[in-house]
Amino acid sequence: MILMIIKTAPDGIKFLWSNDYFSTPKTFSEIKDELSANGYNFTDNSLRKALDRAKFITKKNSSFAQKFKSNINFNDSVNILREMNIHPNILAVSEDLYKDGHYAQAIFEVYKEINIMVKEKSGVMDRDGKDLMAHVFRLQSPRLKWSDLQSQSDKDEQEGRMLLFMGAIVGIRNPKAHDRVIQTDPIKTLEYLAFASLLARFIDEAN
């Protein structure tokens, strides 16, 4: 998905785009077509107002990615995180680090928080990381689950979410903990934080 909806309101919508998408300039029509293809349909007027409020430049031959970077004030990132409705646990451990540009540390802290949340919710304190996630969310007698696991769909959801948690620990937290990782992209960092927020909500919803 090339779009994150940051805030909806009666007078319109505010957007934050992934600058990776704009490796080449996009016209208004191209943006609208892309939105429509992804299930977002707005009138021309409401979309133009939303883009104008976000100070996006949509003319051909403009350097869209550079305009994006220069027009977003990441010193106001606390407001961005809050408008994204990031889970409060994730916000608490990441907002100051993100605001100060410590992106790799912000990512590490939020996935460390996910590990802690799973331990506290499940009561399993003698396991950690991938082993913790596999044990807590396993299909056979899980410590945390989202359904009665009666249907195949329920079982698929349980297994799929278990794999998401395991992957987050192995593929995101562990490299940040064991290697010297340089992270300079504020947008990609937001995406990491948003994924951690989703995992945190899964934990809240689990029984």
Residues 143-192: tens digit of each pLDDT: 999 999 999 999 999 999 999 999 999 999 877 655 566 777 788 888 89
Most confident listed range (40-49, 61-70, 131-140):
131-140
Looking at the chain, the whole-number percentage of residues with pLDDT higher than 90 is: 44
Q: What is the pLDDT of residue 91?
A: 93
pLDDT band at residue 134 using 50, 70 and 90 as cut-offs: very high
Q: Are 97 and 106 in contact (CB under 8 A)?
A: yes
Same domain, 68 and 86: no
Same domain, 56 and 102: no
Q: Where are the alpha helices (DSSP H) in 72-170?
A: 77-83, 88-99, 103-122, 129-136, 152-168
Mean pLDDT (whole number) for 196-206: 97
pLDDT band at residue 1 using 50, 70 and 90 as cut-offs: very low
**Separation of alpha carbons 17 and 34, rounded Å:** 12
Question: In this predicted model, which residue has the larger pLDDT, 28 or 67?
Answer: 28
The one-letter code for the residue type at 79 is: N
Q: What is the pLDDT of residue 84?
A: 81
Same domain, 170 and 108: yes
Global pTM value:
0.64
Domains of the chain: total: 2
Residue 154: Cβ within 10 Å count: 15
Same domain, 21 and 66: yes
Same domain, 62 and 122: no
Same domain, 55 and 101: no
Two structure tokens written together for 60: 């051909």
pLDDT tens for residues 108-125? Answer: 999 999 999 999 999 999
Same domain, 66 and 144: no
Same domain, 45 and 95: no
The range of the structural domain enclosing residue 111 comes to 79-205
Inter-axis angle of helices 88-99 and 186-205, nearest 10? 160
Which phi and psi angles does 200 have, rounded to 5°? -65, -40
Please say if the pLDDT value at position 136 is more than 70: yes
Same domain, 171 and 99: yes
Place of tokens 């409060």: 88
What's the helix, strand, coil split of the chain in %, to 5? 60, 5, 30
Please say if the pLDDT value at position 72 is more than 50: no
Single out the residue of 168, 88, 86, 81 nearest to residue 130, CA to CA. Answer: 168
Same domain, 164 and 98: yes
The residue from 72, 93, 128 where one domain ends is 72
Q: How far is CA 123 from CA 110, 176, 178, in A?
A: 20, 26, 26
Sequence-separated (6 or more) residues with CB below 8 Å from residue 46: 12, 13
Question: In this predicted model, which residue has the larger pLDDT, 6 or 28?
Answer: 28
Mean pLDDT, the chain, rounded, equals: 77
The residue from 29, 53, 72 where one domain ends is 72
Same domain, 148 and 182: yes
The residue from 45, 72, 99 where one domain ends is 72
Most confident listed range (36-45, 77-86, 188-197):
188-197
Q: What is the pLDDT of residue 188?
A: 84
Lowest mean per-residue pLDDT among 80-94, 133-147, 160-174:
80-94
Same domain, 65 and 163: no
Q: Left if phi > 0, otherwise alpha if psi is -120 to 50, otherwise beta: which for 4?
A: beta
Q: What is the pLDDT of residue 150?
A: 96
